[in-house]
Amino acid sequence: MFYRTTRSREKSKDLNRSKKMQYHLFNAILGLVAAFLIGRLPFVSTEKLHGASECDSSAVTPITVLVVGATGATGKHVVQQLLEMGHNVRVVVRSRRRMLDMVDFQPSDHFVVTEASILELGDEDLKQEVEGVDAVVSCLGHNMDFNGIFGQPRSLVSLATSKLTETMKATAKAGRPKKFILMNSDGVAHPAGTDDTRPVLERILLGVLRLLIPPVKDNEKAAKVVHEFQSNGTIEWVVIRPTDLIDGQPTEYVLYDKPVGSLFGGGVTTRATVAKCIVDLILDQVLWEKFKFQMPVLHDSKQN
Ligand SMILES: NC(=O)c1ccc[n+]([C@@H]2O[C@H](COP(=O)([O-])OP(=O)(O)OC[C@H]3O[C@@H](n4cnc5c(N)ncnc54)[C@H](OP(=O)(O)O)[C@@H]3O)[C@@H](O)[C@H]2O)c1
């Protein structure tokens, strides 16, 4: 009897294990496919706009930046780079522990960590986060697993973008406009329709992806929210559209006015380079003036 019970328990354990493995395998494959589709969609080549600038940040007075999506693969670099330069960083993260494991800094007056989900933060709490900042950066993105891609909130990036920009506007004071930077993707077309028209088959493919993969639609909506945002001169924005993301050291980068390359290759950029570009945009006013109210596409200048 004992033997049979143990065997049936073993059998059901095996079944559970196998189901779990299938689930994880499915998640992993789905994550890879979605990352590929969200980060790399087809476009044609365009004019090179900008080579990376060397920004002497040591000479800059400390500024304050709110980063959301700070525990992400790119967001963590933005936080680390700004803190290394002596700037003040505020983050709103779902896990304080995970944030602190990712950077070489502990919470202090210069590094304020709020544990909350950005969409669940009340209006007054969000106002407090935004009040007094010089810039807000969103590196939010859907987690690349089944729940992240198909679960709620499906409009994570666009809703957060709306909330943040409206709160920035509500808390704006006279003086230099605040900067809002949204990390998006070169798979998202410029809402003004200024990107080159894609071939028919690629447009059909995009339409299908928009229907099947909610984060694609969310990133498009977020770009539109920023593009249509009426800030009354109090907020300026840049939507940065990186090409395929990889891990690695920050390198020199190039900013293009439109997506470059084809579906199956055309460029890559390290997440640390994306962070570097975001930090440059915040600190380098000349660079900012050149790209404000635009949606530049970012590639590493030297391909990895
Ligand atoms: N993958 C590519 O090749 C590629 C290429 C170009 C552009 N992009 C775009 O770039 C953006 C950032 O990409 P990434 O790879 O750096 O992002 P990531 O590593 O996936 O990080 C996503 C961030 O969003 C947060 N987040 C996810 N779901 C959330 C929720 N429901 N509520 C609150 N926060 C949530 C995560 O917080 P937790 O740590 O708490 O989960 C994390 O901080 C994305 O929009 C992506 O589409 C990707």
Q: Is 35 in the pocket of ligand 1 (CB under 6 A)?
A: yes
Please tell me the predicted confidence (pLDDT) of residue 52: 40
Whether 45 shows a pLDDT value over 90: the answer reads no
N residues, the chain: 304
Q: How far apart are CA 221 and CA 287, in angstroms?
A: 26
Q: How far apart are CA 111 and CA 193, in angstroms?
A: 39
For each of the domains in the chain, give its residue range(s) and CATH number, in order of start: 35-300 (3.40.50.720)
Please tell me the predicted confidence (pLDDT) of residue 60: 61
Whether 9 shows a pLDDT value over 70: the answer reads no
8 A C-beta contact, residue 260 and residue 303:
no
CA of 139 to the centre of ligand 1 (A): 6
CB burial string 197-226: b at 16+ within 10 A, e below: ebeeebeebbeebeeebbbbbbbbbbbbbb
φ, ψ of residue 224 to 5 degrees: the values are: -65, -40
Which among 32, 93, 139 is the best mutation to test ligand 1's pocket, defined by most ligand atoms within 8 Å of the CB?
Answer: 139
The arithmetic mean of pLDDT across residues 270-280, rounded, is 98
The arithmetic mean of pLDDT across residues 69-98, rounded, is 98
At 146, list the tokens.
């089944």
Question: Is the N-terminal amide bond of 177 cis, ω within 30° of 0?
Answer: no
Q: Is 95 in the pocket of ligand 1 (CB under 6 A)?
A: yes
